[in-house]
Amino acid sequence: MADTIFMALGTIAVLSALFCVFQRNALAAAIWLVLTMLALAGMFLILGAPFIAAIQVLVYTGAIMVLFIFVIMLLNLGDAASDIRGPGVKAIALVLAVGTGAYLLRLAGYDPARLAFELTGTTDLSPAAVFATAEVARQAAETQGVVGAVAGPLFSTYLVPFEVTSLLLLAAIIGAVVLAKRKI
Amino acid sequence: MADMLNLIGYQGWVVPVLLLLPVAGALLVVAAPAPRARSIALAVSLAEFLVSAGLWWSFVPEGGMQFAASIPWMPQWGIAYRVGIDGISLFMVLLTTLTMPLCVLGSWNYITQRERGFYALLLVLLSGILGVFISLDLFLFYVFWEVMLIPMYFLIGIWGGSNRLYASIKFFIYTMVGSLLMLVAILVTAWMVGAATGVLSFSYDHILANASAVGGRAPWLFAAFALAFAIKVPIFPFHTWLPDAHVEAPTAGSVILAGVLLKMGTYGFLRFAIPFFPDVAFSPAVTTIAVVLAVVGIIYGALVAMVQPDIKKLVAYSSVSHLGFVMLGIWAATLQSVQGALMVMINHGLSTGALFFLIGMLYERRHTRDIAAFGGIARVVPVFSLIFTLVSLSSIGLPGLNGFVGEFLVLLGSFGRFPWATGIATTGVIFAAAYLLWALQRIIFNKLDKPENESLTDLTPRELAVLAPLLAGIVWLGLYPAPVLRRMEPTSRQFVESVQHAIPQGAQAVAAPVNEGHP
Amino acid sequence: MLLGPALAISALLFSIGVLGVLIRRNAIVLFMCVELMLNAVNLTFVALSRFHGVGGQLMVFFVMAVAAAEAAVGLAIILAVFRHTTSVDLKTNTLLQG
Amino acid sequence: MYVSADLIWLAVALPLAGFLVNGALALWRPDAKAAVSVVGPAVLLGSFAVVALIFRSYALAGLATPHVVHLWTWLPAGALTVELSFLVDRLSLVMLMVVTGVGSLIHLFSVGYMRSDPGYARYFAYLNLFVVFMLVLVLGSSLPVLFIGWEGVGLCSYLLIGFWYGDKANADAGKKAFLVNRIGDFGFMVAMFLIWVALGSLNFLEVAELAPRYLAAGGTLVTMITLFLFLGCAGKSAQIPLYVWLPDAMAGPTPVSALIHAATMVTAGVYLVARTNILFAMAPLSSTVVAGIGALTALFAATIGLRQYDIKKVLAYSTVSQLGYMFLAVGTGAYVAGVFHLVTHAFFKALLFLGAGSVIHSMHHAYHATHSHEDAQDMRNMGGLRRAMPWTFVLMLIATLAIAGIPPFAGFFSKDEILAAAFARGAEIPAFRLFWLFGVVAAALTAFYMARLMAMTFFGENRTGAEERKHLHEAPAIMTVPLVVLGVLSAAGGLLNLPALFGGDAKLEHWLDPVLEGAHHYFPLEMPHGQTEFVLIGLAILIAVGGLVVGWRVTMSRPILPASQAAPEAGFWKVLYHKYYVDEFYEAAIVGPLRRLSERVLWKGVDQGIIDRGGVEGSAGLARTLGWIGTRLQTGQVGLYLTVFLVGALGIFFVVMG
């Protein structure tokens, strides 16, 4: 059941992404992207990352995409003429995109067993044994709750990156204010 | 006097005080109100000079380093604060500390903008230069070498003449190219010596004792060191930054540049490049190149100086000529020539420094350095003219004044080894007289035919105070250089003896035709 | 375990993002395509976090923070450029020309 | 009273003190002329007194050994130790007497001559300083110490020639003198280096002792040393090819010409050869060169003197010519004759110059009084001055007879001795016969141009101008008294070294014997005796008298026109008048090309062109070009950047990850 929903969501995500890319109207493209993101949030949920799913909805769809839409509307770009490049560029782009996709799609063949083999170099161990620590973490998450499982490492192992992120955001705020203001 | 200095433990604290006092003074200058900056700078530089003056008595005329100290800095890489003074650096230190208060006093009214920055940079520069002459750790040496470069760049770039940006960037890039190569050479030398001896250390003594460990790389390392120093000296054809830098720099900058900074190049040869790699330095090919370039510098500098319309440029090219004598003396590596080279270094500092001061004083009055703008001013400014003549004569090398002592010893000492080159170099005395006397005539003699020169005022007491110490030095070193020569003799002897093994015996044969029946 | 499908979807989304970046001239849309690519990567992180522990999820968290910062600054830049040239078309905006 | 030679420093210190006092006055109290008038000559008279007393003590005690007065150590550098010390011996004492004696007289004369000049104090400061350096030159116990004086006198000469520096010509002349001397100094320095390399000492006494031991007589080394030394002498003593500065040096005040450019400084070269006589004696080739150059200069300068109109220029070329005689003497090995001629020449040439100065002084006043701008030194503007200036006329006549070589005046004996010596040497080295001939011809020319000078100046009609004539008058006593003293010396100076033939005892010869012992050994000279001597003397007198008569006849045969009305020179006279165009040749062949080379090739070409434009800016240009190529990739099209970026990223992926 979960697999089916996952595949459905995946299909929605890919299709709406395609619409987003080929949609002439910037506003519409943004709406299509929102749909992709929501689909992704659902997929995160299925993949066992409820916290990420939540902030995906909150931050991406709720904050970032709203910002995009806000800017698009502010600049009144809703019905601008087509900004899609000519056929020559399109052909090159298609080749590159397909190349990238073909290269990356090789990842589709991965399953836990192969992952375990690549990590350990033997087939003796079962994936469950190899990924025991992950299993432990998942079990801890179940006892600690959705947020607790993430919060623990975030404030211990990843404390420094976390703090740096806060600095980055501060810098971004100042930067955005400076750039956007007409006169300082 | 020496006993009295020992009583206050002079030997122990003099070097750190010399290095730190100017930096502290610079901070004080920055913190003080702008009109006070020059007084503070003068007080600090005078104090510095008084502190350094004790070296004269406290220094024992023996070989080896004195006032030495060593404090670990980055022990894992063998870098330490290692300092010391010997007969070579003693006079460079004294020359520097003597020049600096004069520079401050000479800039008294010349600098009217951003005084604090100017005087603070001067003091930092003082510290940097002293560090270069005092440090006995290659890393420390390199640090000071760069520390010195930056204030100089700003002195030219901010307080310079109309074309100052071009000049300062040219100066900076020229020096930087050389010093980066030197850094590479320092690192490679230290690393290879460390690999061979098992002790990674930037200590001068350690590297000097084991410099043979570099083996076949020696020519490349020598070349890197030599290029850095050659640019600084400057040796033809690396000299073209000098006229531009001199012309654009403010008076104090020119004085320091000519008086002290150029000596860092020759000092580098004497202290590092040659003692580390004597076999390379005195190989026939390198010797030929060095001596030819030295002689070319002497003649070329003098000839080009002769036709300069700008007084400062004229003096700048004359520096190229004078420093050629130093290079010749160093490469001849006889006791007389090396002592002579050291004397030329001191003398050039005194007389060229004085010349730049005089030109600066003229510039403050007329705002031009064009020789053609003057003429006949001896009538309106007799004291200025007298001093200008005296200093020019010192630069020409009139016996009885300081310039002669150095040139004479260099040429006398070099003649046995390079009779032809020395003979050609001796013609430099003719050209030196030509360019300076011609300039002298066009500036202070001839008819007073420019009305704006009629109202020139003669030197003020402050300006006389700037020139008096230099004039005293010019006359004193000309008539009684013995105390100076005696203090530098042991170190010079050490240098000569340490490189003697590297001088091929065949090279001595050059002097053979004039050697029939030498005692 | 959905690893393979998740990675495949991620690859497709990423390629679509690349395609969008290459064929669009509108700076804002181009920017959105970049976001799309970031999301594709996020999917990979989450999918693999099931095997490598919670670090992958945290990485997604950081990516989002960076994306947010980037969006804020990037859009501000676009606004500033638009104010200057009244266009967000990259063809007419060649300020980066050397 | 015995005065120790140790006190000789006092003779130097006195003029030095005078220099300091006068120099200070010149800077701050230029109007204190009375003080200057006292201090200037007094210090020199004091110096003369010191020297005279020491000389007397030496003579009475019959001391022959040199005495070294050590002052301080000048240049200690390992094996080289140059002491600043004075060497008092018989040779230096003779020179000291001349320098301080003639110097004192000229200082006294200057009091009258320069009194009205605004630079009076400065003048005496320079003059005192000159004497200081001249004494150091004479007294220096080693080559470098002598070199201090050598260059110092050059400096003072430079300052005094350009004394009236407001006129560019004067400043030019001073500079020219210094520069030409510097060429000579180059030779001097190289000679010092050679001596140092060969002998390891620069001290005169040590060199004299070591040279016979370590140098091969007639060898290359000693020849090179002496030739380079002679180059120095040629510069200082105005010999071919470096004589050109001396005639121009007449731009200085006339007493300066008398003191520096006739009596003392220019004879320094002769003194140096005499001082290092042992080296020259060991190098016969160099000696021949010295004598040859000397003889040639004597002749060459004398011919130019024939056709000059400036009274000082005539005397200047005459000086060059007489210096040539001195070099002929020392080159011949007749060092005593050289020194003897040096002394007598100092007397009569100083007298001639001072007399000329007296004439110019008078002429100048006359023109000044009438605001005329005629040339006060041009002989064509003079004539008949014997009436206005009888003292000057008589004294100059004595000097003329002395220089022309009329017995019993001083010049006759010294010149005759030189010619006799050259003739005698001719027996050994034939070239000397030619030199002798040059000397004889030059002697005739000397008599000729001196007769011309006297005739144009003192005889005939006065051509100064009707109004100006009234202002011509004899010089004041302070100027004529020194002239009288010099006149006595010029007349009786021959007694110093009266040869046995005339019943004398050749005092100077014996006096200098100890100094010249070594030279006599290596380069012995047998002077002619008996019949040859008589013939030579007769010939010399004949030539002198003949020259005078012809000179007088030729000059007086035609009316002389004042300078402003004179016709331009023509033919060979023109070549002589223009001094063989040597100055023009030097300018065109050496000075000009050197300046153009420096300016156009070295500075503009090499420095600014190759090094700066090519090297420095070339490398900057290279960097800029590379950067420009880089900018071409920066189209500003973000799409293009992205495409390129993706291609690169994919490429890396495929290559690295397979």
B139-172 confidence digits (pLDDT tens): 999 999 998 888 999 999 889 888 888 888 888 8
Within an 8 Å CB–CB cutoff, is residue A102 touching chain D?
no
Q: Cβ–Cβ contacts within 10 Å for residue B223, how many? A: 17
Q: Average pLDDT for residues D619-633, to the nearest whole number?
A: 85
Model pLDDT for residues D216-238, shown as the tens digit of each residue: 888 899 999 999 999 999 999 99
Asked if A77's CB is within 8 angstroms of C28's CB, the reply is yes
Q: Which of D639, D643, D650 sits opposite A100 (nearest CB)?
A: D650
User: With left for phi above 0 and alpha for psi between -120 and 50, is residue D465 left, alpha or beta?
Assistant: left
Q: Chain A residues with CB inside 8 Å of D639's CB? A: 85, 89
pLDDT value for B485: 92
Position B64 confidence tier, pLDDT thresholds 50, 70, 90: confident
Residue A81 has pLDDT above 70, yes or no: no
pLDDT the model gives residue B511: 39
Nearest beta carbon to residue B516 from set D79, D152, D221: D221
Contact (CB<8Å) C95/D643: no
Rg (CA), chain D: 31
pLDDT on residue B509: 36
Out of A89, A96, A103, the one facing D647 most closely (by C-beta) is A96
pLDDT of residue B515: 39
Least CB–CB distance from C22: residue in D632, D634, D642: D642
State how far Cα B484 lies from the chain centre.
16
Which residue on chain D is closest to A95 by alpha carbon?
Answer: D647
Q: What region, left, alpha or beta, does residue D556 occupy, with left being phi > 0 and alpha being psi -120 to 50 degrees?
A: alpha
User: Which 3 state secondary structure label does DSSP give D72?
Assistant: strand
Q: Would the CB atoms of C29 and A26 count as touching at under 8 Å?
A: yes
Token pair recorded at residue A20 = 């987003």
| DSSP for D522-556, written as a single string | HS------HHHHHHHHHHHHHHHHHHHHHHHHHHH
Please report residues of D whose CB lies closer than 8 A to that of B429: 182, 185-186, 189
ipTM over 0.85: no
Give the ranges where B367-516 is alpha helix by DSSP (H): 382-396, 402-415, 419-426, 428-444, 461-479, 482-500, 505-508
Share of chain A above pLDDT 70, in %: 96
Is the CB of residue B422 less than 8 Å from the CB of residue B413? no
Strand partners, D81: D76
Answer yes or no: are the C-beta atoms of B54 and B46 closer than 8 Å. no
User: Where exactly are the structural domains of chain C?
Assistant: 3-85
Question: If contacts are CB pairs under 8 Å, which of residues 7-66 in chain C contact chain A?
Answer: 7-20, 22-26, 28-29, 31-33, 35-36, 39, 42-44, 46-47, 49-55, 57-58, 60-62, 64-66
Pairs of residues, one from chain A and one from chain C, whose beta carbons lie less than 8 Å apart: 245
What are the C-alpha distances in Å from A56 to residues A146, C39, C45, D143? 14, 9, 13, 98
D177-208 residues labelled b (16+ CB within 10 A) or e (exposed): bbbbbbbbbbbbbbbbbbbbbbbebbbbeebb
pLDDT, one tens digit per residue, over D285-304 is 999 999 999 999 999 999 99
Q: Is the dihedral of CA C76, C82, C87, C89 positive or negative?
A: negative
Considering only the beta carbons, identify the residue of B170, B415, B437 that sits closest to D616.
B170
Min Cα separation A100/chain D (Å)? 7
Residue type, D363: M
Amino acid at D388: A
In this predicted structure, what is the pLDDT of residue B216?
Answer: 86
D568-612: per-residue pLDDT in tens? 877 888 888 888 888 888 888 888 888 888 888 888 888 888 888
* Interface residue D642 vs chain A (CB under 8 A): no
pLDDT score of D382 = 86
Interfacial B residues in 459-518 facing D (CB < 8 Å)? 479-482, 485-486, 489, 493, 511, 513-518
Rounded Cα distance, A172 and A169, in Å: 5
Rg of chain A taking only CA atoms, in angstroms: 21
**Residue D474 CB-half CA count within 13 A:** 16
- The CATH class given to the C3-85 domain equals mainly alpha
Predicted pLDDT at B512 = 35
Percent of chain D residues past pLDDT 90, beyond the cut: 49
pTM confidence score: 0.83
Element spanning D145, H or E: helix D143-161
Q: Which two tokens stand for residue D366?
A: 């006359």
Question: What distance in Å separates residue C94's CA from the closest CA in chain A?
Answer: 16
* Residue in A84, A90, A150 closest to C54 by CB: A150
Residue B401 pLDDT > 70:
yes
A35: left (phi over 0), alpha (psi -120 to 50) or beta: alpha
Per-residue pLDDT tens digits for D369-418 = 888 888 888 888 888 888 888 999 999 999 999 999 888 898 898 999 89
Peptide bond connecting B234 to the previous residue in cis, omega within 30 degrees of 0: yes
Asked if D650 and A85 come within 8 Å (Cβ–Cβ), the reply is: no
pLDDT given at position B124: 93
Task: For residue D469, give the 3-state DSSP assignment.
Answer: helix
Q: Give the N- to C-terminal CA distance of chain A in Å, as an integer.
A: 57
d(C-alpha B225, C-alpha B248), whole Å: 28
Instruction: Using pLDDT thresholds of 50, 70 and 90, give the confidence band for residue B349.
Output: very high
Chain D residues close to B477, C-beta within 8 Å: none
Q: What b/e sequence results for B290-316 when a residue is b if at least 16 CB atoms lie within 10 Å of its CB, and e otherwise?
A: bbebbbbbbbbbbbbbbbbebbbbbbb
**φ, ψ at D68 (rounded to 5°):** -105, 125
CA angle D647, D652, D657 (to 5 degrees): 135
Residues of chain D neighbouring C18 (CB-CB closer than 8 A): 646
For residues D367 and D626, give the distance between their C-alpha atoms in angstroms, rounded to a whole number.
76
The C-alpha atoms of residue D596 and residue B466 are separated, in whole angstroms, by 38
Residues of D in contact with C96 (CB under 8 A): 634, 636, 638, 641
Rg (CA), chain C: 16
Distance from CA of D630 to the nearest CA of A (A): 23
Q: What is the pLDDT of residue D407?
A: 83
What SS3 class is residue D296?
helix
Collapsed DSSP state (helix, strand, coil) of residue D148: helix
Query: Which residues pair with residue B69 across a beta bridge?
Result: B83
Closest chain C CA to residue A106? C8
Residue D586 burial (C-beta neighbours within 10 Å; 0-12, 13-18, 19+):
middle
Chains A and B touch (3+ CB pairs under 8 A): no
Cis status of the peptide bond prior to D408, with omega within 30 of 0: yes
B28-32, B115-119, C85-89, D177-181: least confidently modelled range: C85-89
Smallest CA–CA separation between A170 and chain C, in Å?
9
Q: Which residues of D touch A93 (CB under 8 A)?
A: 643
List the subunits that have 3+ CB pairs under 8 angstroms with D. A, B, C
| pLDDT band (50, 70, 90) for residue B91 | very high
Q: Which residue in the set B408, B437, B485 is minimally distant from D179, CB to CB?
A: B437
Q: Is D465 exposed, middle or buried (0-12, 13-18, 19+ CB in 10 A)?
A: middle
Query: Does D653 touch chain A if contact means CB atoms closer than 8 Å?
Result: yes
Say if the Cβ atoms of A103 and D650 lie within 8 Å.
Answer: yes
Q: A21-72, pLDDT tens digit by residue?
A: 988 888 889 999 999 999 999 999 998 888 899 999 999 888 899 999 988 8
Q: Do the chains A and C touch each other, judged by at least 3 C-beta pairs below 8 angstroms? A: yes
* Closest-CA distance of chain A to residue D603, Å: 53
DSSP string, B62-90: SSS-EEEEEEEEEGGGTEEEEEEE-HHHH
Between CA A72 and CA D452 the distance in angstroms is: 113
| Contact criterion met (CB < 8 Å) for D639 and C93 | no
pLDDT at D476: 86
Domain A1-84 has CATH 1.20.120.1200: yes
Query: pLDDT tens digits for B2-42?
Result: 788 887 888 888 899 999 999 999 999 999 888 888 999 99
Confidence at residue D166, expressed as pLDDT on a 0 to 100 scale:
85
Amino acid D640: pLDDT: 82
Residue environment code for D275-305, b if the CB has 16+ CB neighbours within 10 A, otherwise e: bbbbbbbbbbebbbbbbbbbbbbbbbbbbbb
How would residue B202 be classed by pLDDT, with cut points 50, 70 and 90? very high
Residue from D397, D392, D414, D155 nearest D265 by CA? D155
Q: What single string gives the DSSP state of each residue in D302-346? A: HHHHTT--BHHHHHHHHHHHHHHHHHHHHHHT-HHHHHHHHHHHH
Residues 562-601 of D with CB under 8 A from B: 594-595, 597-599
The pLDDT value given to residue B519? 40
Q: What is the 3-state secondary structure (H, E, C) of C48-84?
A: HHHHHCCHHHHHHHHHHHHHHHHHHHHHHHHHHHHHH
The whole-number pLDDT of residue B505 equals: 64
Closest CA to D301 of D314, D291, D292, D310: D314
Mean pLDDT of chain D: 89
> For residues D397 and B358, what is the distance between their CA atoms, to the nearest angstrom?
52
D144 chain-B contacts, CB cut-off 8 A: 399, 408
Which chain D residues have a beta carbon less than 8 Å from that of C27?
A: 638
What is the Cα–Cα distance from B475 to D340, expressed in whole angstroms? 37
Residues B167, B242: Cα–Cα separation, whole Å: 9
- Average pLDDT of the residues of chain B: 89
Q: Which of D639, D643, D646 lies at the smallest CB-CB distance from C90?
A: D639
